[in-house]
Structure formats: structure tokens, C-alpha cells
Amino acid sequence: MDESLNSPCAELRQLVTEYLEEVMTGEELAWFESHVHECGSCEVHVHEVKAFVGVLARCGPEPVSPETRQRLHAAFREWRAEVDQ
């Protein structure tokens, strides 16, 4: 399966971290949720990322600092690059 960068699935995957951080708003959020509902592979992807972020979040009791968040994003991007190969 060859997903182009413009496919809704690829776009959604770019937005997963925003979704999980609950910084997504209005139309974007509505689009995200409706796509996840109708697309099995994206649903699985969101669950995987949620689990991955949850593991990192459990590493410490502190609220996530901007620095940690940056590292999380970097780690997530590396992880996703591996998964998408």
C-alpha cells in the first residue's frame, strides 16, 4: 500500500500528537475523530501512539515540561519513521 503524503491517513498521522495533547480544535478535531471512526488502520495507529505516549508519560510523576514534550515529539517521530518503513 502506497500512501501519498496528501492522503487523509498520512495527514492524520501528522496530527496524532496534537490530538493526544488535546490542542486540536473545532473542525480539525471533528475531521480527525470522524476519520479515525471510519478508518481501521488509523484507529489502530492512534491506539499505538497513545500506548507509546502513555509509556513515556509514566516515566515520571511531573507534569510534562516543554522540554520533555520536545523530546517526546522527537522520539515519536523516530519511532514512527521506523514503523512506516
Footprint on this chain of Zn ion (rule: CB under 5 A) = 9, 39, 42
Task: Give alpha helix (H) positions in 7-65.
Answer: 8-20, 26-38, 40-57
Closer to Zn ion by Cβ: residue 24 or 42: 42
- Give the 3-state secondary structure of residue 58: coil
Return all residues near 45 (Cβ < 8 A) that are at least 6 apart. Answer: 12, 13, 16
Closer to Zn ion by Cβ: residue 57 or 76: 76
- State the nearest-atom distance from the C-beta of 35 to Zn ion, in Å: 6
Closer to Zn ion by Cβ: residue 44 or 74: 44
